Structures are given as structure tokens and as C-alpha cells.
Amino acid sequence: MKFSYSLIKKFSPGLPAKEKFAEDLAHKSFEVDEISGDMMDIKITANRWSDAACHRGIAREAAAIYGLKENLPPVRELSKKKKGADMAEIKTGDCLRYTAVMMEIKKVGTSPAWMKKVLETCGQRAINGVVDILNYVMLETGQPMHAFDADKVEGKIMVRKAKKGEKITTIDNREIDLSPDHMVIADQKKALAIAGVKGGKEAEITDKTKRVIIESACFDAGAIYRTARDIDLRTDASQRYGHGMSPFTTEIGAGRAISLIEDICGGEVIGETDVYPKKQPKTVIKFDIDRFSKITGVVILKDKAYMILRRLGFKVNGSGLVEVPPERMDVTIFEDLVEEVIRIYGLDAVRSVPPTISLHPAHSDGSFAYKERIKNAIVNAGYDEIYSYSFGEEEGNGIELQNPMNREKRFMRASLIPSLKKVIDGSSKSFDDIKIFEVGKVFEALDKEHWSFAVAARSKKSDQMFRELKGAISEVAGKGGIVDISFRKDDLSSDNRLVINIDGKAAGILEVADGGKVAYVEMDMEKMMVSANEEFEYKPISPYPSIMRDISVWVPSGVLVQELVEAMELSEAANLEDTDLIDYFSDNGRTAVTFRVIFQSYEKTLSDAEVDVEMGKINTVLRGISGVEIR
């Protein structure tokens, strides 16, 4: 929000130079985004619009920071006489206060140079005397103001809900459709303005205007916020009301506007109405200096705290009861006072103090340590970690964003594989061999997501990358505490796909693409974790030597290695420890497969003769598979 430094300084004489002021403000109140000439762009936090989004408010901050004496222009009180007391009425609870002042003016005229300068610094255009004064009053006091040409208003002003189908044309000629969710300022015939948002064309001030009705009002924050969003019309006024204004500021705005119109436009008040059905209650909070220290860890004198609060406009009595200034809508509880005192006193006073705690053992969620374990294992196998977006164009489980950045990023991912694919496609020009992985959340339903672990390998030279990947995954599973992992081609899956089982249950898939040059694995990391957490028994290493035998067979096309391995495992050959595929090549429609079969006893040294018997069983089962020949 743009401010005029010289106007702040006029209200807080003795203010240091802009740069120094900006630095101190950034420490104690608000960040300053930009300084340019007289302009300071101050970032008013969302909680402080009711008091600080105006020059008076910032001047008060400055006075509190530097201990300056404010020099604010006096505010003319609303007359007690209540001339024309029935000029306006409120028909909805969303209007908290409505002040209407009718003034006769000599001329609309133009605003004085000093005022134009302030408007310009704050990014506003000069229009005419009356409008400029009202805009200036908003910059000075924070109160949005509006004026109607009194001679175009027919009968009493009403603040009411819009009627179904009611329309209004704004002063910038936009026709807006309204509904009973919105609030209007109307006369007896028509809507004059969208309350708290924008004035209408009907009773607009022109050069010919002789009598004006000045409006200074307060509306419910949520109501104005919703309206502005609904009709997609954000104005200075709607922003201010949307953050929440104090009904107290209404009279400050009205008072200042009256004085300035009297001075500049030769105006004279001919009627005043102030409808204020429910007075804003006073907020009084007990300040407890011990509790202040308990929260901040900073010890200060009680009187010092009171002094800071007083400088900020709070009234403090001897027993520590603090009355909050009405425009400080953000201060409602003791902790808010703590913030007021510590920020002005200086947050640098907070020293580091080690906490004293009773020793409760940490109980971290297991996913973090397990992620680290799996990631380290796959990195050791030579894979690089990627991070990618959680949303993409694949429909996944149909979880869709209402407001995606673009169509390519509209679904929450159900698999990490598309992200890996994208990286492989994007990197294959620069790299012959790509080995990557990602660990990330995948989404099953709005309230169901799990950690997924996906790996991809691609090589320009090899068309057996799935074997590479099977090896890597087996290794990672081992390091990840998984004892029983197997890759299974089930009848349902396609030729290029395997199911990965952990403890006999499906926990992932392996996919082969691009003629074997690329392979992907994706596993449910949470299923891996469950398996890793189950106890497993230590299997001793046999002290006896193992015996290896190689067996080569010809197999016809259509018979898979998986079938041969299963047959061997089911052959009932005793002491069969492992079967390793050591050679595999195709020739004339059949394939030569060589296994190294390892026998191992945990009780004795096996003799050749004993192993021969078991090999015989293996030969028999292999020969039993149709078309298989022993080479």
C-alpha cells in the first residue's frame, strides 16, 4: 500500500529519514517493499487494516517506535443536534453503522495542490474537489467514503439486501447483476451503490452538483468480502471493508470530510444522520507482566510495557487494565498485547535460552527412516533421484484439481511412472544410460494416499534393462529388510508386465517398454515397510561347501524361464539352494538356457553321488515340460 512519507512526517514530526524509518518499520511493524521519491510502499499485514492502512495509523506506529508526539489534524465531532435524523435507515444486520451528512456546497471545484500531491503519491488520480477530498480522507483515516448528489436521491436512503434480479450500473459503466446475497445503498426507488464496493451511476457527483450526501459507513467484513468475490469487483473500499473496519472509524472519516469540504468547497452542513444500532463494545484486557515474561522469555519493567501500550494508543490504568483503541480490531486477547509490547520494545531483546523438558523419547513416523534406507540402497545401485510434480495429465484415480495451472497438470498422480518417463524422454539425448528413481506420494482417493517408490532404467545398448532393474530391486529389497520378493508373470498381465510380490502378496509392478531398452518398476513403499517390520529369523551360513552343477536345455518359444525355475523349485530335489540363469540365447526359434544349480547342505558335505541323484530329479522335471530338451 502506497503512503506519502511527508504526510506521515507531518502527522509525526521528528520522524527520521525514509530509509531509517523503513528499516525500523520492517523490524517492528511492517515490511517496506519500495521507496521511490516521497512514496513508501508498506506491506500492511492482513490483521492491521482496521488501524494501520492509513496515514494516521502509520504515524501512530512511528510515534510509538520513536516516542514522538503526534500532530494529527483535529476531527470535527458529529453534531449532537442530529439535524434530519431520519435521512437514512438500516435494513440489514450486515451494516454496522451508517453516517450520512448532507452538505450544500458553493462549488465542486478542484482540490488544493498539497492534496493532489498526496493522491498522486498514493497512486490515485485527481478528479474533482469533492471526490478528491473523500479519497484523501480514506488515505488519511482508512475510512472508505462515498458521496451522492443529494438532488438525485429520491427519499430516504436505505441500506438493504439487493432484490432478486436487481441490476446496477457502476460509475465506471459496468452493469452488475445483484442477488439477495449482496447489499446495496438505495433510495426509495433505486439502488445507488453496491454497499462497501462501488458507487452507482444514478446519483453520481457532477460539476453541477449543489448538495451532496457524504456517506461514511461500516459493513460486516465477511459480507463485503463475499460480495466482491461474487461479482468479481475488487475496489479499494471492498479491500478495506473485507479486512474488517471498526465502526468507530466511521465518525473519524465523516468528521474529517466535513471539515475539508467546508474549507475547500465552501460547504455547509444541512443535515446529519448517524445510524449506529449496536455500539462496538470496549475491549479491556488485563496485562500480566509475569505472563509476558513467561511467553517471551524477556523480563522488562511493568511501567515500560505500559508506556509502550500508551504510545500505541491503549489506555492503561494503574492495576494493569488495558483498554484497546476501538480501531485496533486485531487486539482481542492478552497474547495480542504481548506482541504489541515485544515488537516495539525490540525483538532483539529475546535471547536464546535452552528449553527445560522432561525426557519423552522421540517417536518418529517410520516412513522417514524407511524412505532414507530405500533411497540410499537404490543410490548405491547407481540410480539418480528425481523430484517431479504431484499432478499430471494422466487421469490416475480421477482426483482432479478445480483450478489447475493448465490442462497438463490437472490430475493428482496415481503412479510415479509417467514422471519418470518424462525425465527419460527429456534426457535420452544427453545420456546413453539413464537410471533414475523417485519416492513420492500417489493418490488413491481424496482421503487416501501412500508413499510410492518408482525406478526406471534405460540403455541405448541393452534390450534387457528389465534384468538390470530386477537386480537393483532385489538388492534394494534386501537392504530394505524384505526377505521374500519375487517377480511373477501372472496370466492376466500383458507380455511386458510382471507383478512384484512381497511375502507372496502383490506390492508392485515391473513394466518393459521400447523393446526392452527401458524398464520401470513401481512399488508401494508402505507395503515394503510392513514387510520390513515383520520379524525374520536369522538363517545361519552353512559351514559346508556347496556344489554347483550347470544344466543347459533347449526350450521352444512360448516357454518362459519362470516356468523352468518353478519346475526346478518344485522338483523336490533335496538341498537345492539356488538356481542362477547364466546363459540365454535364441537360435532358430528355440532358446538355449543354462542354469547354474547350487546344492547346499547345512548338515554335511555333499558328495558328488548325492548331488547326481538330485540333478536327476531336476532333469526329469525339465524334460517333463513339453518341448524342452536337455542339451
Q: What is the rounded distance in angstroms from the CA atom of residue 383 to the CA atom of residue 436? A: 5
Q: Cite the DSSP H helix spans in 440-518.
A: 465-479
Q: How far is the CB of 219 from other proteins (least distance, A)?
A: 13
Q: How far is the CB of 349 from other proteins (least distance, A)?
A: 9
Q: What's the Rg (C-alpha) of the chain?
A: 40
Binding to other proteins by residue 383, rule CB under 8 A? yes
Binding to other proteins by residue 368, rule CB under 8 A? yes
Q: How far is the CB of 22 from other proteins (least distance, A)?
A: 12
Q: What is the rounded distance in angstroms from the CA atom of residue 446 to the CA atom of residue 60? A: 48
Residue/partner pairs of 587-591 with CB below 8 Å, 24 or more apart = 589/556, 589/557, 590/554, 590/555, 590/556, 590/557, 591/554, 591/555, 591/556, 591/557
Binding to other proteins by residue 379, rule CB under 8 A? yes
Q: How far is the CB of 543 from other proteins (least distance, A)?
A: 32
Binding to other proteins by residue 45, rule CB under 8 A? yes
Per CB under 8 A, the segment of 97-105, 127-135, 149-157, 344-352 that binds other proteins is 344-352
Q: How far is the CB of 225 from other proteins (least distance, A)?
A: 5
Q: What is the rounded distance in angstroms from the CA atom of residue 437 to the CA atom of residue 488? A: 22
Give the one residue of 2, 6, 10, 28 binding other proteins; rule: CB under 8 A: 28
Count residues near other proteins (CB under 8 A).
Answer: 91
Per CB under 8 A, the segment of 12-20, 97-105, 380-388, 560-568 that binds other proteins is 380-388
| 73 closest CA partner among 91, 86, 55 | 55
Answer whether 476's CB lies under 8 Å from 531's CB: no
Give the one residue of 2, 6, 16, 26 binding other proteins; rule: CB under 8 A: 26
| 231 closest CA partner among 189, 174, 190 | 174
- C-beta of 200 vs 244, nearer to other proteins: 244
Binding to other proteins by residue 617, rule CB under 8 A? no
Per CB under 8 A, the segment of 269-277, 312-320, 359-367, 542-550 that binds other proteins is 359-367
Concatenated DSSP letters for 165-196? T-EEEBTT--EEE--TTSEEEE-SSSEEEETT
Angle between helices 18-28 and 334-345 (to 10 degrees): 140
- C-beta of 26 vs 548, nearer to other proteins: 26
Report the site for other proteins in 99-158 (rule: CB under 8 A). Answer: none
- C-beta of 129 vs 440, nearer to other proteins: 440
Q: What is the rounded distance in angstroms from the CA atom of residue 625 to the CA atom of residue 234? A: 78
Give the one residue of 120, 384, 393, 394 binding other proteins; rule: CB under 8 A: 384
Report the site for other proteins in 409-468 (rule: CB under 8 A). Answer: 409, 412, 419, 422-423, 426-427, 430-431, 433-436, 440-441, 443, 446-447, 449
Give the one residue of 365, 491, 537, 587 binding other proteins; rule: CB under 8 A: 365
Q: How far is CA 276 from CA 6, 99, 153, 217, 249, in A?
A: 35, 8, 22, 9, 12
Report the site for other proteins in 284-303 (rule: CB under 8 A). Answer: 294-298
Q: How far is the CB of 31 from other proteins (least distance, A)?
A: 8
Q: How far is the CB of 334 from other proteins (least distance, A)?
A: 8
Report the site for other proteins in 179-238 (rule: CB under 8 A). Answer: 221-222, 225-226
- C-beta of 209 vs 246, nearer to other proteins: 246
Per CB under 8 A, the segment of 5-13, 319-327, 340-348, 572-580 that binds other proteins is 340-348
Binding to other proteins by residue 390, rule CB under 8 A? yes
Backbone angles phi, psi at 567, to 5 degrees: -60, -45
Q: What is the rounded distance in angstroms from the CA atom of residue 201 to the CA atom of residue 189? A: 14
Q: How far is the CB of 388 from other proteins (least distance, A)?
A: 6
CA end-to-end span of the chain, whole Å? 86
Give the one residue of 17, 113, 301, 359 binding other proteins; rule: CB under 8 A: 359
Answer whether 79's CB lies under 8 Å from 24's CB: no
Report the site for other proteins in 462-501 (rule: CB under 8 A). Answer: none
Q: Which residues pair with 577 in a beta bridge?
A: none
Beta strand spans in 79-209 (E): 88-90, 95-104, 145-149, 157-161, 167-169, 175-177, 183-186, 191-194, 198-199
